[in-house]
Structure formats: C-alpha cells, structure tokens
C-alpha cells in the first residue's frame, strides 16, 4: 500500500496513516516487514485473565489493549472526587506522571496536594518508595517478581481512594499510566474508575514497528506519529532503515549526516526515549542493492570499515543505542579489486568478507560502548531452514555477540509446517519476523517458537 492515504481525506489523516503503517508491511520485501503488524496482534493473542473467582461483576470493565496478563475486579465502580493528591518520588518517570495528570485533568479532576481522600502514587519501589507501603497496606503484591516493563496497577477504596501505579521499571510505570487512561470513564456528570488489581507484563521483549521499505520515505511528522502509535500500544522499538535514505543503503553510506539533518534525528531519538520507544538505526553498507548501481563497502579496506564505525559513532552521539548492520537484498559481486583478491568469489567469499567486517565492528564499536545493545545483523540469506555454503560460513565466522534477523523458511513465510528451528545457528539470538497466515512468532534461536493463534 502506498502513502496516498496519508496525503488525502484530511478528516481521517491520522487514522489512515496509522492503519497504513500497520498494513503496508504486508507488501514489502524486507526482513523486518511485519514487526508492527506482528507485535500489534501479539496483544490480541494474550488471553485476558477472568475476574477473581469470588467477584460478582456489576459494571462491565472497560476494554484494555493489549489485555493485561491478570486483572482482578469485584465489579465495583469508584466515583472520583473533583480533586486528587498526586504522589511521586524524585526518580519517578516524568512521562508517566504527566500522563496520569493529563488523564485526570481531561476528566475534570484537579491535582491538589491537600486532597486527602483521593491519593495517587506513581512509580515503583525504586521510583516512589511510598508506593510499596501503600500496596502492602492494601494487601497487594508489588512488581518485584515481574519481568522488565511489567507493572502493578491497584485502584481500591481504603480510607479514601487509593491508586497505585508501580512499575518494575520506569517503562512499566508508564505502561500502568497507559492502562489507567483506558480504564477511566465519564458517566453523565460522574467520572469513574473500576476497582481493579492488575499485574501485567509484555510477552515479548522486542515489540515495535518500522520504516524500512522501498519507496518514498516518511515525513518527520509521520515518524513522530509512528512513535506515538507504538508508545500508546506499549511497543518499545522503532526501526529506522528506509531504502531511499542514501545514507542507510549504500549510495552515500560513507557520508555523515550534515548538522541540520543530524539535529532532526536527535530530536526524534530524544522524543522516542521519552515515550519509552527505542530508536533502532539500520545501515546497509553492502552494494549494489538489487536494481541499484552504487558502489558499496570494500570489505578489505580499513578506510571503509572506519567510515562505517564513524557513522555508528555519529548516531551514538545523539542517543541511538540499538544498531543493525544489514547485508540483505544485494548481489554477490564485490565492488573493489581488493575484495576479489582477498576473498575470491561466490557465496563463501561474500560471507567471509561480511563476517570480518562485523567482527571488526564488534571489537571497535559494540565492545567499546557498554551502554550499546547487542549488535544485530541481517545476513544476505536471511531465510531458509537448510544449511547453505553462505549461511554455514556466516554463522561460523560471525562473533556470537551478534544477533541475527531471520524470516523463516522463505523470504515470505506464509505457512510453517513445524515449530523446529533452523539447525545451523549456534548459541545466538534470532529476531524472527515474517508473514504468517495463522500464527505469530517471535523468539530466540535457542528456545522454541513462542506463538499464539491470531484473531
């Protein structure tokens, strides 16, 4: 689907853009094509826990998306006073605090530090220590045992009204605020919240959407809108790697971004971080891409490896911490004589050259900056179950500190006959994403495929 939907029908511009961002991945020939589609449906695949066994529902619970792992309610609905006391510590996530404040004020509830009968505690034990004591008084377990990005949300009557949004980490607290914003309702002149106790966490550590396709790039407004969409749906990665950005796909990958362009990226990265979305930057130095004519990296040339590191360092300087080095959709022909002399020709030579570059980048960049996430690479053969000369060589030579993208048995894996993993990969992670007709998958190479039925 093209971008025409973004530019027409002004009254539905945002809706169409978000729908396009989800559905367009069904037509792209890339490794990360459907991550937004996959991860958006993941929430639908997570079964919502039934109400507590002794609960007698009186008021239907509002729909929460994605559904929480566990949500207990006795069916009671709490009418909110016109004023609330907002309590948060010095380490509390300010985005979560702002969202709670905005949610209340949009429903006519004013923040007042002297409001004693309605108290809201925002932040987990490390952010707002008071929340731990309130949960204990309510007889509720905190978020300590939850995985990353998990949270507890308690809304109860106990000597007034108490609301606790307690995250395992700052992102979890923000997700609790998002859930609360879906639960609040206006009924006539009253504003109500259901009495609930929620324990929630994501099933998938890597959740997100992408701008990585052939065709016109998104505008900066589109990218901000995408980050908002991902954030609102509790997704945590935005993959940037459009094929038409000359500096990401081989045409001008050696050239650093000019200051004015870099500043635009810096602002987007900063905005994404505040929204609890990690900005993932992809660069593909290999060329020519299929259908292209640009000269790509000379794998054996130190100056080209230095140029690649300089690009990564430039993006690191503005806050990017997740990087993909991609070798997909390219020919097997070297573009410099040094490579032909050093590596020879054919798939084994290509895999050897790429692996040497990755290992050098691992040593001189990823190992140097401890706050950078594990490096990720997209092999030239990013599909298939069976070993091939290229894939066997690539896996054997690439450092085990580097993770792989893999689309399954085919470039577009519409059907899976089994849950078995490809046999050649060693002890490394693989981000599994692709087209599927009835199941959603995303797991690691060394565990089974996590899946659920699509609805």
Backbone angles phi, psi at 322, to 5 degrees: -125, 125
Q: What confidence tens digit (pLDDT) does each residue in 4-40 have?
A: 333 333 333 333 344 334 333 333 333 333 333 333 3
Tell me if residue 304 is catalytic: no
Which of 280, 412, 424, 304 has its CA nearest to residue 354? 304
Catalytic residue among 149, 169, 328, 329: 329
Q: Please name the residues in contact with 163: beta carbons below 8 A apart, sequence gap of 6 or more.
A: 119, 120, 121, 153, 154, 155, 180, 193
Task: Give residue 415's pLDDT.
Answer: 54
Structure tokens at 14: 């945002």
Which of 331, 338, 401 has its CA nearest to residue 367? 401
Q: What confidence tens digit (pLDDT) does each residue in 62-72 have?
A: 999 999 999 99
Assign 180 a pLDDT band (cuts: 50, 70, 90). very high
Q: What confidence tens digit (pLDDT) does each residue in 303-350 have?
A: 999 999 999 999 999 999 999 999 988 888 888 999 999 999 999 999
> Which of helix, strand or coil describes residue 209?
strand
What pTM was estimated for this model as a whole?
0.79
Q: Residue 141, class by beta-carbon neighbours within 10 Å (0-12 exposed, 13-18 middle, 19+ buried)?
A: middle
Assign 117 a pLDDT band (cuts: 50, 70, 90). very high
Statement: residue 418 has pLDDT above 70: no
Buried b (16+ CB within 10 A) or exposed e, 306-326: ebbbebbebbbebebbbbbbb
Report d(CA 423, CA 433) in Å as an integer. 17
Domains and CATH numbers, the chain: 4-42+204-453 (3.20.20.80), 63-200 (3.30.379.10)
Report d(CA 297, CA 330) in Å as an integer. 12
Cis check: omega of the bond before 66, within 30 degrees of 0: yes
CB 51 within 8 A of CB 72: yes
On average, the pLDDT of the chain sits at: 81
Task: Give residue 245's pLDDT.
Answer: 83
User: DSSP H helical segments within 253-301, as ranges?
Assistant: 259-274
Q: pLDDT higher for 227 or 46?
A: 227
Report d(CA 374, CA 367) in Å as an integer. 9
State the number of CA atoms in the 13 A half-sphere of 348 facing the CB.
3
């Amino acid at each position: 689907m093209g971008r025409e939907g973004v530019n027409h029908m002004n009254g539905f511009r945002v809706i169409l853009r978000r729908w396009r961002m989800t559905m367009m991945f069904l037509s792209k020939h890339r490794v990360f094509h459907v991550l937004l589609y996959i991860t958006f449906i993941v929430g639908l695949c997570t079964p919502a826990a039934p109400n507590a066994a002794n609960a007698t529902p009186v008021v239907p619970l509002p729909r929460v998306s994605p559904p929480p792992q566990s949500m207990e309610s006795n069916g009671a609905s709490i009418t909110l006073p016109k004023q609330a006391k907002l309590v948060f510590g010095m380490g509390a996530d300010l985005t979560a605090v702002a969202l709670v404040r905005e949610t209340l004020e949009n429903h006519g509830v004013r923040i007042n530090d002297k409001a004693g009968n309605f108290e809201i505690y925002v932040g987990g034990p490390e952010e707002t220590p008071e929340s731990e004591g309130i949960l204990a008084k309510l007889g509720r377990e905190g978020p300590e045992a939850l995985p990353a990005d998990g949270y507890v949300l308690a809304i109860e009557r106990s000597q007034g009204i108490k609301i606790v949004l307690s995250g395992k980490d700052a992102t979890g607290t923000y997700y609790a605020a998002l859930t609360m914003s879906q639960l609040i309702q206006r009924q006539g002149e009253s504003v109500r919240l259901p009495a609930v106790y929620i324990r929630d966490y994501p099933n998938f550590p890597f959740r997100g959407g992408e701008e990585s396709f052939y065709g016109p790039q998104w505008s900066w407004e589109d990218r901000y809108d995408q980050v908002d969409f991902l954030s609102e749906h509790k997704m945590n990665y935005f993959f940037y790697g459009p094929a038409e950005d000359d500096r990401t796909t081989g045409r001008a990958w050696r050239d650093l971004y000019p200051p004015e362009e870099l500043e635009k990226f810096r602002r987007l990265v900063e905005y994404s971080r505040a929204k609890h979305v990690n900005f993932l930057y992809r660069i593909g130095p290999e060329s020519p891409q299929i259908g292209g004519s640009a000269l790509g990296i000379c794998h054996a040339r130190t100056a080209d490896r230095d140029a690649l590191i300089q690009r990564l360092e430039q993006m690191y300087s503005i806050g990017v911490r997740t990087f993909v080095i991609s070798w997909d959709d390219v020919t097997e022909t070297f573009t410099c004589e040094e490579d032909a002399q050093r590596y020879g020709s054919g798939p084994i030579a290509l895999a050897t050259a790429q692996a040497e570059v990755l290992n050098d980048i691992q040593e001189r960049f990823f190992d140097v900056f401890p706050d950078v996430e594990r490096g990720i690479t997209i092999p030239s053969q990013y599909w298939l179950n069976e070993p091939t000369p290229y894939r066997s060589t690539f896996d054997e030579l690439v450092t085990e500190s580097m993770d792989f993208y893999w689309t399954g048995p085919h470039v577009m894996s519409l059907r899976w006959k089994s849950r078995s993993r490809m046999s050649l990969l060693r002890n490394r992670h693989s981000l599994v994403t692709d087209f599927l007709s009835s199941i959603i998958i995303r797991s690691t190479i060394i565990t089974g495929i996590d899946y659920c039925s699509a609805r």
